[in-house]
Structure 1
Amino acid sequence: MKINKVIAVLVLLLVSVFSFAQGGKKLDKIIKRDYQIIECTIAKMSDKTVEYSLPGETLQISLDVSQIARIDFASGRSQTFDVSTSNTSSNNSVQNVASADMKPNTIAVLPIPYVNADTQESSEDMAKFAQNDIYNKLIDKSANIFPLTVQDLRTTNSLLHKAGIDHTNIDETPIEDLEKILGVDNVVAAKVSYTIGSGTTATTYNSGNAKVSDNNKKVKTNDISTTTANTQVYYYYTVYFDMYKNATKIYSQTRKPFLAVKDSWMDSITYLLKRSPIYVKK
Protein backbone atom coordinates (compact mmCIF):
# COMPACT_ATOMS: atom_id res chain seq x y z
CA MET A 1 0.00 0.00 0.00
CA LYS A 2 2.83 2.41 0.90
CA ILE A 3 4.63 1.63 -2.37
CA ASN A 4 1.49 2.47 -4.35
CA LYS A 5 1.20 5.82 -2.56
CA VAL A 6 4.83 6.65 -3.29
CA ILE A 7 4.36 5.81 -6.97
CA ALA A 8 1.22 7.97 -7.14
CA VAL A 9 3.08 10.93 -5.62
CA LEU A 10 5.98 10.54 -8.06
CA VAL A 11 3.58 10.45 -11.02
CA LEU A 12 1.88 13.63 -9.82
CA LEU A 13 5.25 15.35 -9.42
CA LEU A 14 6.32 14.35 -12.94
CA VAL A 15 3.03 15.63 -14.40
CA SER A 16 3.40 18.92 -12.54
CA VAL A 17 6.99 19.41 -13.71
CA PHE A 18 6.02 18.59 -17.30
CA SER A 19 3.06 20.99 -17.19
CA PHE A 20 5.21 23.76 -15.77
CA ALA A 21 7.84 23.21 -18.44
CA GLN A 22 5.21 23.41 -21.16
CA GLY A 23 3.11 26.30 -19.84
CA GLY A 24 5.74 28.29 -17.98
CA LYS A 25 7.90 29.06 -21.00
CA LYS A 26 8.48 32.79 -21.37
CA LEU A 27 7.52 34.35 -24.67
CA ASP A 28 8.86 37.28 -26.65
CA LYS A 29 6.57 40.30 -26.99
CA ILE A 30 6.27 42.42 -30.15
CA ILE A 31 4.72 45.84 -29.50
CA LYS A 32 3.43 47.21 -32.80
CA ARG A 33 3.06 50.90 -33.66
CA ASP A 34 -0.73 50.45 -33.62
CA TYR A 35 -0.36 49.38 -29.95
CA GLN A 36 -1.13 45.71 -30.64
CA ILE A 37 0.94 43.28 -28.53
CA ILE A 38 1.91 39.91 -30.03
CA GLU A 39 3.19 37.21 -27.66
CA CYS A 40 5.31 34.82 -29.67
CA THR A 41 8.67 33.13 -30.21
CA ILE A 42 10.96 35.09 -32.51
CA ALA A 43 12.88 32.87 -34.94
CA LYS A 44 14.76 35.32 -37.16
CA MET A 45 15.39 39.05 -37.53
CA SER A 46 16.75 41.19 -40.35
CA ASP A 47 16.90 44.89 -41.22
CA LYS A 48 13.51 44.64 -42.93
CA THR A 49 11.51 41.85 -41.30
CA VAL A 50 11.00 39.86 -38.11
CA GLU A 51 9.89 36.24 -38.34
CA TYR A 52 7.99 34.69 -35.42
CA SER A 53 5.65 31.84 -34.49
CA LEU A 54 2.63 31.93 -32.20
CA PRO A 55 2.37 29.72 -29.09
CA GLY A 56 1.58 26.12 -30.01
CA GLU A 57 2.26 26.69 -33.73
CA THR A 58 5.24 26.00 -35.97
CA LEU A 59 4.17 28.27 -38.84
CA GLN A 60 6.46 31.29 -39.10
CA ILE A 61 4.92 34.70 -39.73
CA SER A 62 6.87 37.60 -41.25
CA LEU A 63 6.33 41.17 -40.02
CA ASP A 64 7.82 44.34 -41.51
CA VAL A 65 9.97 46.22 -38.97
CA SER A 66 8.27 49.49 -39.98
CA GLN A 67 5.21 48.21 -38.09
CA ILE A 68 7.16 47.49 -34.88
CA ALA A 69 7.76 49.96 -32.06
CA ARG A 70 9.56 47.68 -29.62
CA ILE A 71 10.39 44.04 -28.91
CA ASP A 72 10.63 42.73 -25.34
CA PHE A 73 12.57 39.48 -25.52
CA ALA A 74 11.96 36.61 -23.11
CA SER A 75 15.54 37.05 -21.90
CA GLY A 76 14.64 40.48 -20.51
CA ARG A 77 16.36 42.50 -23.25
CA SER A 78 14.36 45.13 -25.16
CA GLN A 79 14.95 46.57 -28.61
CA THR A 80 13.33 49.77 -29.86
CA PHE A 81 12.79 50.40 -33.57
CA ASP A 82 13.29 53.95 -34.85
CA VAL A 83 10.70 55.14 -37.38
CA SER A 84 13.18 57.49 -38.99
CA THR A 85 15.46 54.61 -40.00
CA SER A 86 12.91 51.85 -40.63
CA ASN A 87 10.36 53.72 -42.68
CA THR A 88 12.43 55.07 -45.54
CA SER A 89 9.57 55.47 -48.00
CA SER A 90 7.63 57.59 -45.51
CA ASN A 91 10.64 59.81 -44.87
CA ASN A 92 11.25 60.26 -48.59
CA SER A 93 7.70 61.45 -49.12
CA VAL A 94 8.09 63.92 -46.25
CA GLN A 95 11.36 65.28 -47.60
CA ASN A 96 9.71 65.98 -50.95
CA VAL A 97 7.11 68.24 -49.35
CA ALA A 98 8.04 71.85 -48.66
CA SER A 99 7.87 72.91 -45.03
CA ALA A 100 5.10 75.36 -44.15
CA ASP A 101 5.93 78.73 -42.63
CA MET A 102 6.36 78.24 -38.90
CA LYS A 103 3.64 79.82 -36.76
CA PRO A 104 4.89 80.02 -33.16
CA ASN A 105 2.51 79.15 -30.31
CA THR A 106 0.22 77.24 -32.66
CA ILE A 107 -1.15 73.78 -31.94
CA ALA A 108 -2.40 71.31 -34.55
CA VAL A 109 -4.70 68.34 -33.98
CA LEU A 110 -3.63 65.31 -36.01
CA PRO A 111 -6.09 62.79 -37.49
CA ILE A 112 -7.07 60.34 -34.74
CA PRO A 113 -6.74 56.64 -35.67
CA TYR A 114 -9.93 54.89 -34.51
CA VAL A 115 -9.10 51.19 -34.58
CA ASN A 116 -10.90 47.97 -33.75
CA ALA A 117 -8.25 46.10 -31.74
CA ASP A 118 -9.69 42.70 -32.70
CA THR A 119 -9.85 43.17 -36.48
CA GLN A 120 -7.31 46.04 -36.85
CA GLU A 121 -9.86 47.82 -39.05
CA SER A 122 -9.65 51.61 -38.99
CA SER A 123 -12.64 53.88 -39.61
CA GLU A 124 -11.92 56.98 -41.68
CA ASP A 125 -15.21 58.62 -40.67
CA MET A 126 -14.58 58.08 -36.96
CA ALA A 127 -10.97 59.24 -37.33
CA LYS A 128 -12.23 62.56 -38.70
CA PHE A 129 -14.97 62.74 -36.07
CA ALA A 130 -12.48 62.19 -33.24
CA GLN A 131 -10.10 64.78 -34.70
CA ASN A 132 -12.97 67.26 -34.96
CA ASP A 133 -14.02 66.49 -31.38
CA ILE A 134 -10.61 67.40 -29.95
CA TYR A 135 -10.39 70.47 -32.20
CA ASN A 136 -13.77 71.76 -30.96
CA LYS A 137 -12.81 71.13 -27.34
CA LEU A 138 -9.64 73.21 -27.81
CA ILE A 139 -11.56 76.01 -29.56
CA ASP A 140 -14.19 76.07 -26.80
CA LYS A 141 -11.44 76.36 -24.19
CA SER A 142 -9.23 78.80 -26.10
CA ALA A 143 -9.00 81.03 -23.03
CA ASN A 144 -7.62 78.10 -21.03
CA ILE A 145 -4.81 77.34 -23.50
CA PHE A 146 -3.63 80.93 -24.07
CA PRO A 147 -1.19 81.92 -25.58
CA LEU A 148 -1.66 78.94 -27.90
CA THR A 149 -3.90 79.22 -30.94
CA VAL A 150 -5.42 76.23 -32.72
CA GLN A 151 -4.65 75.65 -36.37
CA ASP A 152 -7.76 75.35 -38.54
CA LEU A 153 -8.59 71.73 -39.38
CA ARG A 154 -8.88 72.47 -43.10
CA THR A 155 -5.33 73.81 -43.09
CA THR A 156 -4.03 70.83 -41.10
CA ASN A 157 -5.70 68.18 -43.25
CA SER A 158 -4.87 69.94 -46.52
CA LEU A 159 -1.14 70.07 -45.68
CA LEU A 160 -1.16 66.44 -44.55
CA HIS A 161 -2.98 65.37 -47.72
CA LYS A 162 -0.34 67.05 -49.88
CA ALA A 163 2.31 65.10 -47.96
CA GLY A 164 0.45 61.81 -48.47
CA ILE A 165 -0.39 61.44 -44.79
CA ASP A 166 -3.73 60.37 -43.30
CA HIS A 167 -5.12 58.40 -40.34
CA THR A 168 -3.71 55.12 -41.70
CA ASN A 169 -0.04 56.19 -41.68
CA ILE A 170 0.04 59.15 -39.27
CA ASP A 171 1.77 56.98 -36.61
CA GLU A 172 4.61 56.19 -39.02
CA THR A 173 5.69 59.81 -39.50
CA PRO A 174 8.07 61.43 -36.98
CA ILE A 175 6.57 64.33 -35.02
CA GLU A 176 9.46 66.57 -36.06
CA ASP A 177 8.50 66.10 -39.72
CA LEU A 178 4.82 66.65 -38.96
CA GLU A 179 5.58 69.95 -37.23
CA LYS A 180 7.58 71.09 -40.28
CA ILE A 181 4.81 70.06 -42.68
CA LEU A 182 2.14 71.82 -40.65
CA GLY A 183 4.21 74.85 -39.65
CA VAL A 184 3.37 74.50 -35.94
CA ASP A 185 5.41 74.06 -32.77
CA ASN A 186 2.74 72.14 -30.83
CA VAL A 187 0.91 68.93 -31.78
CA VAL A 188 -1.87 66.80 -30.30
CA ALA A 189 -1.52 63.14 -31.30
CA ALA A 190 -4.15 60.72 -30.01
CA LYS A 191 -5.54 57.29 -30.81
CA VAL A 192 -8.72 55.43 -29.92
CA SER A 193 -8.56 51.62 -29.73
CA TYR A 194 -11.62 49.55 -28.90
CA THR A 195 -13.17 46.10 -28.68
CA ILE A 196 -16.85 45.21 -28.74
CA GLY A 197 -18.60 42.75 -26.44
CA SER A 198 -22.21 41.84 -25.74
CA GLY A 199 -24.35 40.40 -23.01
CA THR A 200 -27.88 39.03 -22.95
CA THR A 201 -30.36 39.31 -20.10
CA ALA A 202 -33.70 37.47 -19.94
CA THR A 203 -36.79 38.84 -18.18
CA THR A 204 -39.80 36.60 -17.46
CA TYR A 205 -43.29 37.93 -16.79
CA ASN A 206 -45.94 35.67 -15.20
CA SER A 207 -49.69 36.16 -15.35
CA GLY A 208 -52.68 33.92 -14.54
CA ASN A 209 -55.65 33.19 -12.27
CA ALA A 210 -55.55 31.18 -9.02
CA LYS A 211 -58.34 28.72 -8.19
CA VAL A 212 -58.95 27.46 -4.65
CA SER A 213 -60.36 23.92 -4.19
CA ASP A 214 -63.38 23.24 -2.01
CA ASN A 215 -61.36 21.79 0.86
CA ASN A 216 -59.20 24.93 0.98
CA LYS A 217 -56.07 22.82 0.92
CA LYS A 218 -55.04 22.78 -2.70
CA VAL A 219 -54.43 25.78 -4.94
CA LYS A 220 -54.51 25.44 -8.70
CA THR A 221 -53.14 28.15 -11.01
CA ASN A 222 -53.33 28.72 -14.74
CA ASP A 223 -50.12 30.70 -15.40
CA ILE A 224 -48.96 32.29 -18.62
CA SER A 225 -45.26 33.26 -18.72
CA THR A 226 -43.52 35.45 -21.27
CA THR A 227 -39.74 35.69 -21.54
CA THR A 228 -38.04 38.65 -23.21
CA ALA A 229 -34.34 38.56 -24.12
CA ASN A 230 -32.40 41.83 -24.31
CA THR A 231 -28.93 42.04 -25.86
CA GLN A 232 -26.65 44.84 -24.70
CA VAL A 233 -23.59 45.88 -26.73
CA TYR A 234 -20.53 47.02 -24.76
CA TYR A 235 -17.65 49.14 -26.06
CA TYR A 236 -14.31 48.79 -24.29
CA TYR A 237 -12.05 51.71 -25.17
CA THR A 238 -8.42 52.60 -24.62
CA VAL A 239 -7.53 56.22 -25.36
CA TYR A 240 -3.89 57.14 -26.03
CA PHE A 241 -3.20 60.87 -25.70
CA ASP A 242 0.12 62.59 -26.45
CA MET A 243 1.21 66.22 -26.74
CA TYR A 244 4.41 67.52 -28.30
CA LYS A 245 6.18 70.86 -28.21
CA ASN A 246 9.10 71.46 -30.57
CA ALA A 247 9.18 67.70 -31.33
CA THR A 248 9.52 66.87 -27.61
CA LYS A 249 6.81 64.85 -25.89
CA ILE A 250 5.51 66.95 -22.99
CA TYR A 251 2.48 64.85 -22.04
CA SER A 252 1.56 61.20 -22.50
CA GLN A 253 -1.37 59.43 -20.90
CA THR A 254 -3.51 56.34 -21.48
CA ARG A 255 -7.04 56.09 -20.14
CA LYS A 256 -9.86 53.54 -20.19
CA PRO A 257 -13.37 55.01 -19.77
CA PHE A 258 -15.31 53.88 -16.71
CA LEU A 259 -18.48 53.19 -18.71
CA ALA A 260 -18.51 50.68 -21.60
CA VAL A 261 -20.89 52.70 -23.78
CA LYS A 262 -20.52 53.78 -27.38
CA ASP A 263 -19.27 57.36 -26.93
CA SER A 264 -17.44 57.01 -23.60
CA TRP A 265 -14.09 57.65 -25.32
CA MET A 266 -15.11 61.31 -25.66
CA ASP A 267 -15.27 61.68 -21.88
CA SER A 268 -11.73 60.33 -21.62
CA ILE A 269 -10.51 62.88 -24.18
CA THR A 270 -12.06 65.69 -22.13
CA TYR A 271 -10.51 64.33 -18.93
CA LEU A 272 -7.02 64.05 -20.43
CA LEU A 273 -7.17 67.43 -22.17
CA LYS A 274 -8.06 69.26 -18.96
CA ARG A 275 -5.08 67.67 -17.23
CA SER A 276 -2.59 68.43 -19.99
CA PRO A 277 0.16 71.01 -19.41
CA ILE A 278 -1.32 73.44 -21.96
CA TYR A 279 -4.57 73.74 -20.03
CA VAL A 280 -4.84 76.44 -17.35
CA LYS A 281 -7.91 76.76 -15.15
CA LYS A 282 -9.60 80.15 -15.26
Structure 2
Amino acid sequence: MTLKQKFATILMLLLSITTFSQKKLDKIIKRDYQIIECTIAKMSDKTVEYSLSGETLQISLDVSQIARIDFASGRSQTFDVSATSTPVSAANPAVASAEMKINTIAVLPVPYVNSDNLESSEEMAKFAQNDMYNKLLDKSANIFPLTVQDLRTTNSLLHKAGINYKNIDETPIEDLEKILGVDNIVAAKVSYTISQSSTATTYDSGNVKVSDNNKKVKTNDISTTTANTQMYYYYTVYFDMYRNTTKIYSQTRKPLLAVKDSWMDSISYLLKRSPIYTKK
Protein backbone atom coordinates (compact mmCIF):
# COMPACT_ATOMS: atom_id res chain seq x y z
CA MET A 1 0.00 0.00 0.00
CA THR A 2 1.42 3.36 -1.03
CA LEU A 3 1.79 6.29 1.36
CA LYS A 4 -1.04 8.09 -0.42
CA GLN A 5 -3.36 5.10 0.00
CA LYS A 6 -2.45 4.80 3.68
CA PHE A 7 -3.24 8.49 4.19
CA ALA A 8 -6.60 8.12 2.46
CA THR A 9 -7.46 5.08 4.61
CA ILE A 10 -6.58 6.90 7.85
CA LEU A 11 -8.60 9.96 6.76
CA MET A 12 -11.68 7.84 6.02
CA LEU A 13 -11.32 6.12 9.40
CA LEU A 14 -11.11 9.45 11.21
CA LEU A 15 -14.17 10.75 9.33
CA SER A 16 -16.17 7.65 10.23
CA ILE A 17 -15.18 7.97 13.90
CA THR A 18 -16.16 11.67 13.90
CA THR A 19 -19.49 10.89 12.24
CA PHE A 20 -20.22 8.15 14.76
CA SER A 21 -19.31 10.35 17.74
CA GLN A 22 -21.60 13.11 16.46
CA LYS A 23 -24.58 10.80 16.00
CA LYS A 24 -27.71 12.49 17.25
CA LEU A 25 -29.55 10.91 20.13
CA ASP A 26 -33.22 10.85 21.08
CA LYS A 27 -34.21 12.98 24.07
CA ILE A 28 -36.80 11.96 26.66
CA ILE A 29 -38.12 14.92 28.69
CA LYS A 30 -39.65 13.56 31.88
CA ARG A 31 -42.41 15.21 33.89
CA ASP A 32 -39.93 15.82 36.71
CA TYR A 33 -37.86 17.89 34.20
CA GLN A 34 -35.09 15.32 33.85
CA ILE A 35 -33.75 14.98 30.30
CA ILE A 36 -32.47 11.57 29.14
CA GLU A 37 -30.32 11.42 26.00
CA CYS A 38 -30.62 7.92 24.59
CA THR A 39 -31.54 5.68 21.68
CA ILE A 40 -35.17 4.54 21.76
CA ALA A 41 -35.61 0.91 20.79
CA LYS A 42 -39.32 0.25 21.31
CA MET A 43 -42.52 2.11 22.24
CA SER A 44 -45.94 0.92 23.36
CA ASP A 45 -49.02 2.48 24.91
CA LYS A 46 -47.59 1.89 28.39
CA THR A 47 -43.79 1.91 28.18
CA VAL A 48 -40.81 3.24 26.25
CA GLU A 49 -37.66 1.12 26.03
CA TYR A 50 -34.32 2.85 25.48
CA SER A 51 -30.57 2.42 25.87
CA LEU A 52 -28.03 5.02 26.97
CA SER A 53 -25.17 6.14 24.74
CA GLY A 54 -22.46 3.51 24.56
CA GLU A 55 -24.60 0.87 26.28
CA THR A 56 -26.67 -2.05 25.00
CA LEU A 57 -28.76 -2.58 28.14
CA GLN A 58 -32.38 -1.60 27.49
CA ILE A 59 -34.25 0.38 30.15
CA SER A 60 -38.04 0.49 30.39
CA LEU A 61 -39.84 3.73 31.34
CA ASP A 62 -43.56 4.16 32.00
CA VAL A 63 -45.14 6.71 29.64
CA SER A 64 -46.90 8.35 32.59
CA GLN A 65 -43.48 9.74 33.57
CA ILE A 66 -42.83 11.25 30.13
CA ALA A 67 -43.82 14.75 29.04
CA ARG A 68 -42.26 14.73 25.56
CA ILE A 69 -39.83 12.86 23.34
CA ASP A 70 -37.64 14.72 20.85
CA PHE A 71 -36.47 12.16 18.32
CA ALA A 72 -33.10 12.42 16.60
CA SER A 73 -34.96 12.71 13.29
CA GLY A 74 -36.41 16.06 14.42
CA ARG A 75 -39.91 14.77 15.17
CA SER A 76 -41.42 15.39 18.62
CA GLN A 77 -44.15 13.48 20.45
CA THR A 78 -46.02 14.87 23.44
CA PHE A 79 -47.51 12.54 26.05
CA ASP A 80 -50.71 13.81 27.65
CA VAL A 81 -51.66 11.66 30.64
CA SER A 82 -55.03 13.35 30.93
CA ALA A 83 -55.97 12.08 27.46
CA THR A 84 -55.97 8.51 28.74
CA SER A 85 -57.78 9.29 31.96
CA THR A 86 -61.35 8.25 32.56
CA PRO A 87 -63.80 11.14 32.06
CA VAL A 88 -64.29 13.27 35.14
CA SER A 89 -68.04 12.86 35.28
CA ALA A 90 -67.74 9.09 35.47
CA ALA A 91 -64.52 8.60 37.45
CA ASN A 92 -64.36 11.60 39.74
CA PRO A 93 -67.89 12.60 40.72
CA ALA A 94 -66.47 13.88 44.04
CA VAL A 95 -64.52 16.67 42.29
CA ALA A 96 -66.12 19.92 43.38
CA SER A 97 -67.35 22.01 40.47
CA ALA A 98 -67.22 25.80 40.52
CA GLU A 99 -69.71 27.80 38.50
CA MET A 100 -68.42 27.89 34.93
CA LYS A 101 -67.34 31.34 33.75
CA ILE A 102 -67.14 31.49 29.95
CA ASN A 103 -64.11 33.19 28.35
CA THR A 104 -62.16 33.16 31.60
CA ILE A 105 -58.53 32.11 31.95
CA ALA A 106 -56.90 30.87 35.14
CA VAL A 107 -53.16 31.00 35.90
CA LEU A 108 -51.91 27.89 37.66
CA PRO A 109 -49.11 27.78 40.25
CA VAL A 110 -45.76 27.51 38.45
CA PRO A 111 -43.51 24.64 39.60
CA TYR A 112 -40.02 26.11 40.06
CA VAL A 113 -37.54 23.25 40.24
CA ASN A 114 -33.78 22.87 40.54
CA SER A 115 -33.12 20.10 38.01
CA ASP A 116 -29.85 19.11 39.73
CA ASN A 117 -31.49 17.99 42.98
CA LEU A 118 -35.21 18.18 42.00
CA GLU A 119 -35.91 20.51 44.93
CA SER A 120 -38.87 22.84 44.38
CA SER A 121 -39.57 26.23 45.90
CA GLU A 122 -43.06 27.14 47.12
CA GLU A 123 -42.10 30.81 47.38
CA MET A 124 -40.84 30.98 43.78
CA ALA A 125 -43.82 28.93 42.51
CA LYS A 126 -46.16 31.58 43.91
CA PHE A 127 -43.93 34.43 42.72
CA ALA A 128 -43.85 33.06 39.15
CA GLN A 129 -47.62 32.52 39.19
CA ASN A 130 -48.14 36.11 40.36
CA ASP A 131 -45.74 37.42 37.72
CA MET A 132 -47.62 35.69 34.90
CA TYR A 133 -50.99 36.80 36.34
CA ASN A 134 -49.86 40.45 36.41
CA LYS A 135 -48.52 40.24 32.86
CA LEU A 136 -51.93 39.03 31.65
CA LEU A 137 -53.71 41.79 33.58
CA ASP A 138 -51.42 44.44 32.10
CA LYS A 139 -52.28 43.20 28.61
CA SER A 140 -56.02 42.62 29.23
CA ALA A 141 -56.86 44.60 26.08
CA ASN A 142 -54.68 42.21 24.04
CA ILE A 143 -56.44 39.05 25.26
CA PHE A 144 -60.05 40.26 24.82
CA PRO A 145 -62.63 38.70 25.07
CA LEU A 146 -60.85 36.67 27.76
CA THR A 147 -60.80 37.87 31.36
CA VAL A 148 -58.30 36.68 33.97
CA GLN A 149 -59.63 34.92 37.04
CA ASP A 150 -58.60 36.57 40.29
CA LEU A 151 -55.52 34.85 41.70
CA ARG A 152 -57.03 34.54 45.19
CA THR A 153 -60.05 32.74 43.73
CA THR A 154 -57.83 30.34 41.77
CA ASN A 155 -55.59 29.48 44.71
CA SER A 156 -58.49 29.18 47.15
CA LEU A 157 -60.33 26.71 44.89
CA LEU A 158 -57.13 24.70 44.34
CA HIS A 159 -56.45 24.62 48.09
CA LYS A 160 -59.97 23.31 48.82
CA ALA A 161 -59.39 20.55 46.27
CA GLY A 162 -56.04 19.61 47.86
CA ILE A 163 -54.00 20.78 44.85
CA ASN A 164 -50.76 22.74 45.13
CA TYR A 165 -47.57 23.45 43.18
CA LYS A 166 -46.23 19.97 43.98
CA ASN A 167 -49.11 17.91 42.54
CA ILE A 168 -50.54 20.36 39.99
CA ASP A 169 -49.00 18.34 37.12
CA GLU A 170 -50.72 15.17 38.29
CA THR A 171 -54.22 16.65 37.97
CA PRO A 172 -55.96 16.28 34.58
CA ILE A 173 -56.81 19.54 32.84
CA GLU A 174 -60.51 18.62 32.67
CA ASP A 175 -60.51 18.32 36.47
CA LEU A 176 -58.76 21.67 36.85
CA GLU A 177 -61.23 23.44 34.56
CA LYS A 178 -64.10 21.91 36.53
CA ILE A 179 -62.58 22.85 39.90
CA LEU A 180 -61.74 26.41 38.83
CA GLY A 181 -64.87 27.03 36.76
CA VAL A 182 -62.93 28.31 33.74
CA ASP A 183 -62.71 27.29 30.10
CA ASN A 184 -59.11 28.47 29.60
CA ILE A 185 -55.94 27.64 31.56
CA VAL A 186 -52.33 28.75 31.28
CA ALA A 187 -49.72 26.48 32.87
CA ALA A 188 -45.96 26.96 33.06
CA LYS A 189 -42.97 25.25 34.66
CA VAL A 190 -39.51 26.64 35.34
CA SER A 191 -36.55 24.27 35.52
CA TYR A 192 -33.06 25.59 36.29
CA THR A 193 -29.46 24.82 37.18
CA ILE A 194 -26.91 27.11 38.81
CA SER A 195 -23.16 27.31 38.27
CA GLN A 196 -20.56 29.74 39.53
CA SER A 197 -17.11 30.95 38.59
CA SER A 198 -14.61 32.72 40.83
CA THR A 199 -11.89 35.16 39.85
CA ALA A 200 -9.17 36.83 41.94
CA THR A 201 -7.71 40.22 41.03
CA THR A 202 -4.55 41.63 42.63
CA TYR A 203 -3.87 45.36 42.73
CA ASP A 204 -0.39 46.77 43.49
CA SER A 205 0.03 50.37 44.66
CA GLY A 206 3.18 52.31 45.63
CA ASN A 207 3.67 55.21 48.04
CA VAL A 208 6.70 57.35 47.08
CA LYS A 209 8.45 59.30 49.86
CA VAL A 210 11.34 61.74 49.34
CA SER A 211 13.86 62.44 52.15
CA ASP A 212 15.13 66.02 52.22
CA ASN A 213 18.37 64.96 53.95
CA ASN A 214 19.85 62.49 51.50
CA LYS A 215 17.49 62.89 48.54
CA LYS A 216 16.78 59.16 48.55
CA VAL A 217 13.47 57.86 47.20
CA LYS A 218 11.67 55.19 49.22
CA THR A 219 8.73 53.17 47.89
CA ASN A 220 6.29 51.21 50.03
CA ASP A 221 4.40 48.65 47.88
CA ILE A 222 0.90 47.60 48.95
CA SER A 223 -0.75 44.53 47.36
CA THR A 224 -4.51 43.99 47.58
CA THR A 225 -6.34 40.89 46.30
CA THR A 226 -10.07 40.99 45.59
CA ALA A 227 -12.09 37.82 45.01
CA ASN A 228 -15.22 37.90 42.86
CA THR A 229 -17.79 35.12 42.45
CA GLN A 230 -20.21 35.19 39.51
CA MET A 231 -23.41 33.12 39.56
CA TYR A 232 -24.94 31.79 36.34
CA TYR A 233 -28.57 30.65 36.06
CA TYR A 234 -29.58 28.34 33.21
CA TYR A 235 -33.36 28.11 32.77
CA THR A 236 -35.80 26.09 30.71
CA VAL A 237 -39.37 27.40 30.65
CA TYR A 238 -42.21 25.03 29.72
CA PHE A 239 -45.39 26.83 28.65
CA ASP A 240 -48.83 25.36 27.85
CA MET A 241 -52.28 26.80 27.18
CA TYR A 242 -55.58 24.91 27.23
CA ARG A 243 -59.07 25.76 26.01
CA ASN A 244 -61.97 23.45 26.84
CA THR A 245 -59.47 20.73 27.89
CA THR A 246 -57.64 20.94 24.51
CA LYS A 247 -54.01 22.03 24.42
CA ILE A 248 -53.91 24.98 22.01
CA TYR A 249 -50.31 26.10 22.57
CA SER A 250 -47.17 24.40 23.84
CA GLN A 251 -43.66 25.83 23.77
CA THR A 252 -40.31 25.40 25.51
CA ARG A 253 -37.83 28.27 25.72
CA LYS A 254 -34.37 28.86 27.14
CA PRO A 255 -33.50 32.50 27.99
CA LEU A 256 -30.60 34.06 26.10
CA LEU A 257 -28.96 35.42 29.26
CA ALA A 258 -27.83 33.28 32.20
CA VAL A 259 -28.92 35.79 34.85
CA LYS A 260 -31.13 35.29 37.89
CA ASP A 261 -34.45 36.64 36.57
CA SER A 262 -34.09 35.80 32.86
CA TRP A 263 -36.95 33.25 33.09
CA MET A 264 -39.34 36.21 33.40
CA ASP A 265 -38.32 37.44 29.93
CA SER A 266 -39.14 34.02 28.50
CA ILE A 267 -42.60 34.10 30.10
CA SER A 268 -43.26 37.51 28.51
CA TYR A 269 -42.01 36.28 25.14
CA LEU A 270 -44.22 33.18 25.17
CA LEU A 271 -47.32 35.04 26.36
CA LYS A 272 -47.04 37.57 23.53
CA ARG A 273 -46.79 34.77 20.98
CA SER A 274 -49.61 32.67 22.37
CA PRO A 275 -52.88 32.35 20.39
CA ILE A 276 -54.85 34.38 22.98
CA TYR A 277 -52.71 37.49 22.40
CA THR A 278 -53.58 40.01 19.70
CA LYS A 279 -51.62 43.18 18.92
CA LYS A 280 -53.40 46.50 19.49
TM-score (norm 1): 0.75
Local SS of the residue matching 1:171: helix
Relative to 1, partners in 2 of residues 1:50 and 1:164: Cα closer, same or farther, differing over 3 Å?
farther
Relative to 1, partners in 2 of residues 1:95 and 1:50: Cα closer, same or farther, differing over 3 Å?
farther
Q: Is the 8 A contact 1:34 1:171 kept in 2?
A: no
Q: What RMSD over aligned residues (CA atoms) do the two structures have, in Å?
A: 3.8
Query: Per-residue deviation at 1:170?
Result: 2.7
Distance 1:145 1:60 in 2: 47
Q: Which residue of 2 aligns with 1:156?
A: 154
* 1:175 aligned to which of 161, 173, 177: 173
Q: How does 1:80-159 map to 2 (within 5 A)?
A: 80-84=78-82, 94=92, 96-142=94-140, 145-159=143-157
Q: Any idea what the Cα deviations from partners look like across 1:230-268, whole Å, max 9, x if unmatched?
A: 001121223333333333444445444444322232343
Distance 2:227 2:89 in 1: 54
Q: Which residue of 2 aligns with 1:165?
A: 163
Q: Is the 8 A contact 1:237 1:265 kept in 2?
A: yes
Q: Is the 8 A contact 2:111 2:166 kept in 1?
A: yes
Local SS of the residue matching 1:56: coil
Local SS of the residue matching 1:181: helix
Runs of 5+ consecutive residues of structure 1 not aligned to the other structure: 213-218
TM-score (norm 2): 0.76
Distance 1:177 1:190 in 2: 17
Q: Any idea what the Cα deviations from partners look like across 1:154-198, whole Å, max 9, x if unmatched?
A: 332333344443323433444333212211012121222222122
Q: Which residue of 2 aligns with 1:233?
A: 231
Q: Which residue of 2 aligns with 1:68?
A: 66
Q: Which amino acid aligns with 1:206?
A: D
Runs of 5+ consecutive residues of structure 2 not aligned to the other structure: 211-216
Q: Is the 8 A contact 1:208 1:223 kept in 2?
A: yes
Local SS of the residue matching 1:167: coil
Q: Is the 8 A contact 1:93 1:164 kept in 2?
A: no
Q: Percent identity?
A: 79
Local SS of the residue matching 2:117: coil
Distance 1:94 1:73 in 2: 35
The count of aligned residue pairs is 274
Q: Is the 8 A contact 1:106 1:184 kept in 2?
A: yes
